[in-house]
Every structure is written in structure tokens, then in C-alpha cells.
Amino acid sequence: MKITRLIFDLDSTLYAPTADITAGFLNRTIAFVSDFFNISREEAREKRLRNLPNFSTTLEWLQSEGLTDVEGYLAYMHPESEADELEADANLRPLLESIGIPKSILTNSPLEHAERVLKKLNVADEFESICDIRDCNFRGKPYETAYRAALKKCGGTTDGTLFFDDQFKYVDGYAALGGVAVLVGTHNGPPLGAGASPELSAVSAPPLHPGRVLRMADIYALPALLKQIVDL
């Protein structure tokens, strides 16, 4: 396989899922859901866990429940101080610099979040483009249109572009288009649920597409994976 571009998810892909910023994001999510439905934090946590497998994002689920102030939601979820919850990684920049393949970001978060995180990680200039949730008209991964938007923005094709993400349903969504995706990490979130919309249900539940989804332990396994993938 000739690799011409790399598209990365951002959160829990370029940095470890154990980072404080992950916990902060989850805490704000539960607080928002709790306030939105006027239920306890524990009820909010359980309600989100039940419903999220049927939607691309928490935002899409809440929109189906009547949320209209999308920008207000994004501002609450991603305050300017959020990058303070993330520690800089001195090893990430040399790693990315060592890989001479154009790189881009596809995230279900807003652009301002991506820019803050990349700046904190000191790798902003390593990525040629960022495709955020607004670029996807608030219909993010694993909708086909999200991947198509990212490919169009970076000038890539599924034939030559690898996609990296830490979530089952998001790598499987890219694989469903015929591309090769890489599942990053060992914590990996759940696949789509049986109650997903018909459009999302085109993305299969595990087992993942044979030969179309690879795995690596973390971002630092990338050089070794790239050496192997040319044999696909």
C-alpha cells in the first residue's frame, strides 16, 4: 500500500486517554446532561451510556432530545482553560517530524479545541489541515460525510490515506468506505449500538472489517506500523 496521507483523530489518540483533559471533558459532559434533563449526575452518566452507542456524538444525541443551542454546548464543553488540563509531551513532536507524510486532523470537537490542544502539545505546525465538527455540519464520525469532508480538505483519497482513532465505531466507519484505519490504544470505546439510525448502521459492529482495520498500542507505535503496512 502506498501511503500518501495520514488523518488523525485528536483526543485520546495523540495523547493518552488517561490525561486529565479526558476526565475534565467527561465531567463537563455529565454536568451538561444532568442540567439538560434535570436529573442527578449518576442518572446522567447512566442515561448517556445507554444512548450514546446509537449516535455519533453526545451532541447529536442531545440534539435528538431537543438541544438547539449547539454553540452554547460547544463553548461549555470546551472552555479556553481546557488545555491547562493537558501536559505537554516532549517526545511527540520529534516522532511526528520523523514521519515525512502529510498529516491532518479529523475531530468531532470544534476547531478552537483542536487548536488549543495542538498548541499545548507543540505540534500545531505538523498538521496541514483540521476538519472539525462544524466542517461536518455537526454530523461527525462515523458518518461517511465526515470522512469525505476531511479527505476533501486535505486532498486525500481512501486508497492512500490512513485514518487513526481510539474508538471502535470511528475506525470502523472509515473502513466501511474501503479505507485502512488504525485503532489506537487498548481502552477502546464501544461500537455502535443496535438502535443506531439506518445511516449509521451501515457501520458494522465487531468483528471489524478483516484486513481494513489495524491496531497499535499508542501513537509511538506509528513508525513500526508504517514499516509493516506497505505489505498490505
What share of the chain in percent tops pLDDT 70? 94
Of 227, 13, 232, nearest in space to 118 by CA: 13
Closest CA to 123 of 96, 105, 147: 96
- Per-residue pLDDT band for 92 (boundaries 50, 70, 90) equals very high
Using alpha carbons, list the distances in angstroms from residue 172 to 9, 48, 168, 185, 214: 13, 21, 6, 15, 10
Q: What is the mean pLDDT of residues 47-64?
A: 95
pLDDT of residue 193: 80
Please check whether residue 174 is in contact with residue 181, taking contact to mean a CB–CB distance below 8 angstroms.
Answer: yes
Q: What is the mean pLDDT of the chain?
A: 91
Q: What is the mean pLDDT of residues 54-73?
A: 96
Tell me the three cell numbers of residue 157.
483519497
The whole-number pLDDT of residue 207 equals 47
Q: Is the pTM of this model over 0.75?
A: yes
More confident residue, 6 or 188: 6
How far is 91 from 203, CA to CA, in rounded Å?
34
State the Cα–Cα distance between residues 16 and 66, nearest whole angstrom: 33
Region 94-103: what's the mean pLDDT?
96
Q: Residue for cell digits 487498548?
A: 186
Using alpha carbons only, how large is the chain's radius of gyration in Å? 17
Q: Is the pLDDT of residue 210 over 60?
A: no
Of 9-13, 98-102, 144-148, 175-179, the poorest mean pLDDT is in: 175-179
- Residue 166: pLDDT band by 50, 70, 90 thresholds? very high
* Domain ranges across the chain: 5-17+89-229, 20-82
- Residue 50 in this model has a pLDDT that exceeds 60: yes
pLDDT tens column, 137-165: 999 999 999 999 999 999 999 999 999 99
Range with top average pLDDT, 20-24, 132-136, 193-197 = 132-136
Contact 10, 131 (CB under 8 A): no
pLDDT class of 19 with cuts at 50, 70, 90:
confident
Higher per-residue confidence, 39 vs 210: 39
6 touches 229 (CB < 8 A): no
For 104-136, what is each residue's pLDDT tens digit?
999 999 999 999 999 999 999 999 999 999 999
Class in CATH terms, 5-17+89-229: alpha beta
Whether residue 214 has pLDDT greater than 80: yes
Which of 15-19, 25-29, 164-168 shows the lowest mean pLDDT across its residues? 15-19
Report helix angle 144-154 to 168-175, nearest 10. Answer: 70
